[in-house]
Structure 1
């Protein structure tokens, strides 16, 4: 295994900022974090070169905002990190020493991941196809190589001494999402809902003891910055409503919502962190069987099964629900099993929530176009039939949503309907247990 020995002969006379005194991180749903931190600088009067280390590798350097008693004349972002390959590339045409079974000294002509070509003082070339068993000795550390991503400032200070510098910057590689666990009761009319947030940090940096805020909402972002050149390549919980004020607080902010963690937290690189958002129990829900149709000849189709509830205070909820995945379980009194999953969008309070669970096993639907009659040049009447077979040991109501087009009129039907909008009507068809029911309706279309 190759080993690199660095003999540092010269070092750069730079001022290093101290570790973060304070740090706050605001994380968005859209692969974005905004970091606000305070660092202590030791400055002399006049010009200073200051290194701000331990910034995330996915930082957007053009987003850096600096608050400092002094003037930042210039900023550079250094991301050429020291490793065996980059060090060897910097020593092309320079002297290196290889120590192993035999010692080689000369100028490096070329270097790959595990082989080198060296030119000795007599002009001869030595090719080593493998560096196994050799140590590489370099005479100095190249100035422009660093061990961590670093901001380099040229600061003009009017006085000497210690000063606090406030930094605000954007970084990609940070995101969060909500995850929900919903548990239906035995009768499918009540539900317990537990919410967590999952925070992901792939920014290339760690933030210890950070104040954390989460923004729920879809912000608009200008598509002008590409940081690709900078980068390195089931829970079940106790019942009881707790939009846990002692853990997470929520408030409106512009057209979004902010969730703020009450306690500071460590956000480490390459880490997923879960934090409790709220627990709500005994939420009233309605189970629905829904079938969407455009009017066709189909057999043995299945209606979907959904549950609906209102996100209201009198239903043991009533707080903005950030978007995320909902995993739905059912408790039959003996065991709790997964029955489906759905995606929940950002949902304000007092709005209805519908979660699709799956498709009904014991309900099948057959559709037929019974007749089609041309009444006039641009007038047509079509009769439809929808037969619902209920094999369940209980009665059901199936909502048949019919999508229509053009100028239409329902001229005959055996079940009343509700007009949802200009292109959709809904029939609510009651079917007795272990029976079938046929819905018939006729529509006149004017083209």
Structure 2
């Protein structure tokens, strides 16, 4: 029998964060945050959810302030897609789902269908990240005539579009409900670690208004 490594999961809130924000005039900003992480010895999963939706994933830097060699970054990810019906359909591709259908009499009944294709298009932040050509391709795909319709198999027959309102199973406790930074960290010992993480983000600008007062 194979043994699986234990992973400590830590969800970090902004309550213990110290944030520095530098806003530039090209609609972007540099963000630095100092936080305290309570890590277990060995592998830890750390999630930070109170971040901007326009974060540049390639700009994220995490470092330990007191003992830089005391933690190692095993993996770093940014989950930017907000939870939606389309995203859950994509995760259900190849699986059977219940669909609620409302009859003309008002009666509701449940039919089962297998999701062959979800028709899901990633979050629009990906458009900005990968450029205009990507945006055009995804917009074309999202169009029903461009292949963006869901395809569902019901009773051995294939149909375009959903047969009714999809009903999903309960969410995994680890589901990403909003933009999330995710790290897998290795710590040599259990205890508190003072860390700083920084990143660039779009969607911010500043304005200055002045009032002149005559003497």
TM-score by length of 2: 0.65
Match of residue 152, structure 2, among 118, 137, 140: 118
Is 2:34 the partner of 1:38?
A: yes
1:82 to partner: Cα distance: 1.4
Deviations 1:399-445 (A, max 9, x none): xxxxxxxxxxxxxxxxxxxxxxxxxxxxxxxxxxxxxxxxxxxxxxx
Is 2:103 the partner of 1:103?
A: no
Structure 2: gaps spanning 5 or more residues: 1-6, 102-107, 121-143
Deviations 1:309-357 (A, max 9, x none): xxxxxxxxxxxxxxxxxxxxxxxxxxxxxxxxxxxxxxxxxxxxxxxxx
Is 2:165 the partner of 1:168?
A: no
Distance 2:73 2:191 in 1: 16
Distance 1:23 1:142 in 2: 30
Contact 2:8 2:44 in 1 (8 A): no
Deviations 1:171-190 (A, max 9, x none): 1211112234xxxxxxxxxx
1:157 to partner: Cα distance: 0.9
Structure 1 pair 42–127 and aligned structure 2 pair: CA distance change class (3 A): same
Q: How does 1:123-142 map to 2 (within 5 A)?
A: 123-125=156-158, 131=164, 134=165, 136-139=166-169, 141=171
Q: What SS does the aligned partner of 2:90 have?
A: helix
Contact 1:78 1:150 in 2 (8 A): yes
Distance 1:18 1:79 in 2: 18
Aligned to 2:176: 146
Q: What SS does the aligned partner of 2:45 have?
A: strand
Contact 1:90 1:142 in 2 (8 A): no
Structure 1: gaps spanning 5 or more residues: 1-11, 181-193, 195-278, 283-447
Aligned to 1:75: 76
Contact 2:60 2:198 in 1 (8 A): yes
Match of residue 214, structure 2, among 269, 273, 281: 281
1:129 to partner: Cα distance: 6.0
TM-score by length of 1: 0.34
Deviations 1:184-208 (A, max 9, x none): xxxxxxxxxx1xxxxxxxxxxxxxx
RMSD of the alignment, in Å?
A: 3.1
Match of residue 50, structure 1, among 42, 46, 49: 46
Q: What SS does the aligned partner of 1:55 have?
A: coil
Aligned to 1:63: 59
Structure number with higher helix proportion: 2
Structure number with higher strand proportion: 1
Match of residue 155, structure 1, among 171, 185, 193: 185
1:165 to partner: Cα distance: 2.1
Is the radius of gyration larger for structure 1 or structure 2? 1
Q: How many residues align?
A: 170
Q: How does 1:163-312 map to 2 (within 5 A)?
A: 163-180=193-210, 194=211, 280-282=213-215
